[in-house]
Structure 1
Amino acid sequence: MNAIESYVEELAAELRGPARVKARMVQEIRDGLADTAAARVEAGLPPEEAVRDAVREFGTPAEVAPSCQRELTLAQTRHTAFALLATVPALLGCWHLAWTVGRDQGIPPSQTAQLLATIAGTAAVVGFAALLITRRLSVPDRLPLIMAWTGTAASIAMPLTTIALATALPLADNWPLLLIIAAGTAAAHSALANSAKTCRECAEQAR
C-alpha cells in the first residue's frame, strides 16, 4: 500500500486548512483507497495493480485537491470566525475594566484605545455574520479572504489597544490588572493571528 501513502502525502502537501479537519479528511481518503484496493484484490487482481486501479478511479491529487481545498477553506473561515468570537469579547471586557479603573483614578479615556477597540469589536461582529453565512449551501467566494483580513486587523488592534491603555494608566497602581490584560492579549493575538494567516493561505489556495 505504499502507493496509497505516497498519494495521500502528495495530496496533503497541496492542502491548507485546520489541522484536525485536514487530518480527518486525509484519513478518510486513505481508508477509502485502501478499501477499494482490498476489494480489487478480493476480485483477483494483484495487490500492486489493485492499488493503481483504486488511485486511477479516485483521481490524481491535482484533480482531487480543489474540492478538498474548498471544504477546508470553509472550515478555516469558520475557525477564524470562532477565534474572533472567543477572544474579542473577553478582551473588550478587560479593556472596559481598565477604562473604569482609569476613570475612577481621574484619568481621561484614551481615544486611540477606544478607536482600536472599536475595530476589534467590529471584527467580532463580522465574524458572527460569517458564521451565519457559512451555514448556507452557497458561500460567497470572497468571504474567506474577507474573514482572513478581518481577523488580521483585529489581531493587530489587540496589542495596540492594550499598549494604549497601559501607557495611560499608572503602572505602579495598576500592574496586576495590566499584567492580566497583557497576558490575555498575547494569547488572543497569537491564536487569532495564526488562524487569520491560515485562512488567508486557504483563500489564496482555493482560487
Structure 2
Amino acid sequence: MTALVHETDPVEGYLAALAAAVHGPAKARTRMLAEIRDGLEDAVSAQGSIPRHHAAARALRGFGTVEEVAASCQLELTIAQTRHTSRALALTVPFLLACWYLIRTAGPSGDGQVPRVAQLVAAHLTGAATIAAVLAAAALAATGTLARWLPTPPGLPRVVAWTSTSTGAAMAVATIALLAASPSSANWPLVVLAGLFTAVSHAMVAGSARACRECARLTC
C-alpha cells in the first residue's frame, strides 16, 4: 500500500526518498520531515485547482532535488546528533568518574577491599573519561549558545564521534575488568555496581557514537 501511495503521489515519493537519504536523531529527523511535508503541501495548494499530480510536480520543481535538500537537512541533523552524543557523554561520564574514584581510593585486596586490577583500570581510564567530558561540554556550548555568534567548527562532529567511540570502547574494557575482579573483592557490591553502571553507560555512548560517525561521514 505504501509503495502504491509513493507511485501515485509525488510528494510522498519525494519525502520517502529524502527520509532514506538523511540520518540523525529520530525526533529531530521526524520533525524536520514533517515541516518539509507541510511546506510542500502549502506549495501544492498554492498551484490552484489543477490536478494534484501536476500541482505536486510544479511544487517539487521549485523546492529542489532530493540531493540538494538532503545536503542541507543532513548538516542540521549532524549538528543535532553531535549534541545528542555530547549530551550522552556529559550525563554518563561524571557518574563513572565518581564510581571509579571510589574504587581507586578504596584499600587494595590485601586490606580486604578492592582488587588492585580494578583500581588500575579505574586509574587509567579516568584521564580519558575526563577529556571526553570536557570535550562534550565544549561541543554542547559550541553548538548551542556560542552558535549564535560563532560558526560551528566543521570538524567538530567527527571529533565528537571518534572521541565518544574511544570512550565507549574504554567503557567496555572497564566493564569486563571490573566484573571479572568483583569475585575476589571483599567490597564486591561496589565493584559490581561500578561495572554494571559502566556497562549501561557503554550502551548509551556506543550507540550514539555510531550514529554520530554516520552523520559525520554524510556531512563531509
Q: Which residue of 2 aligns with 1:114?
A: 123
Q: Which residue of 1 aligns with 2:99?
A: 94
Which amino acid letter does the alignment assign opposite residue 30 of structure 1? R
How far apart, in 2, do the equivalents of 1:166 and 1:98 lie? 13
The alpha-carbon deviation at position 166 of structure 1 amounts to 4.4
Where 1:110 maps in the other structure, the secondary structure is helix
Comparing 95-104 with 126-135, greater Cα deviation is found at 95-104
Does 1:125 find its partner at 2:138?
A: no
Which amino acid letter does the alignment assign opposite residue 80 of structure 2? A
Comparing 62-71 with 99-108, greater Cα deviation is found at 99-108
1:186 corresponds, among 186, 194, 199, to 199
How far apart, in 2, do the equivalents of 1:175 and 1:59 lie? 61
Q: 1:3-28: CA deviations, max 9, x gaps?
A: 11111110011101111101110111
Which amino acid letter does the alignment assign opposite residue 196 of structure 2? A
The alpha-carbon deviation at position 118 of structure 1 amounts to 1.4
Which amino acid letter does the alignment assign opposite residue 2 of structure 1? D
Contact map agreement 1:120 1:158 (CA 8 A) in 2: no
Does 1:68 find its partner at 2:73?
A: yes
The alpha-carbon deviation at position 195 of structure 1 amounts to 0.7
How far apart, in 1, do the equivalents of 2:107 and 2:38 lie? 59
Contact map agreement 2:10 2:56 (CA 8 A) in 1: yes
Q: Which residue of 1 aligns with 2:166?
A: 153
How far apart, in 1, do the equivalents of 2:171 and 2:126 lie? 7
Where 1:173 maps in the other structure, the secondary structure is coil
The alpha-carbon deviation at position 168 of structure 1 amounts to 4.9
The alpha-carbon deviation at position 88 of structure 1 amounts to 0.7
The alpha-carbon deviation at position 95 of structure 1 amounts to 1.5
Contact map agreement 1:114 1:161 (CA 8 A) in 2: no
How far apart, in 1, do the equivalents of 2:214 and 2:88 lie? 17
Contact map agreement 2:84 2:208 (CA 8 A) in 1: yes
Q: Which residue of 1 aligns with 2:17?
A: 10
Contact map agreement 1:37 1:50 (CA 8 A) in 2: yes
Contact map agreement 1:110 1:164 (CA 8 A) in 2: no
Contact map agreement 2:22 2:73 (CA 8 A) in 1: yes
Q: Which one has more relative contact order, counting CA pairs under 8 Å at least 6 apart?
A: 1
Contact map agreement 1:102 1:169 (CA 8 A) in 2: no
Q: Normalising by structure 1, report the TM-score.
A: 0.90
1:195-206 pair list within 5 angstroms: 195-206=208-219
| Count of residue correspondences | 205
Unaligned runs of 5+ in 2: 1-7
Percent of matched pairs sharing the same residue: 46
Q: Normalising by structure 2, report the TM-score.
A: 0.85
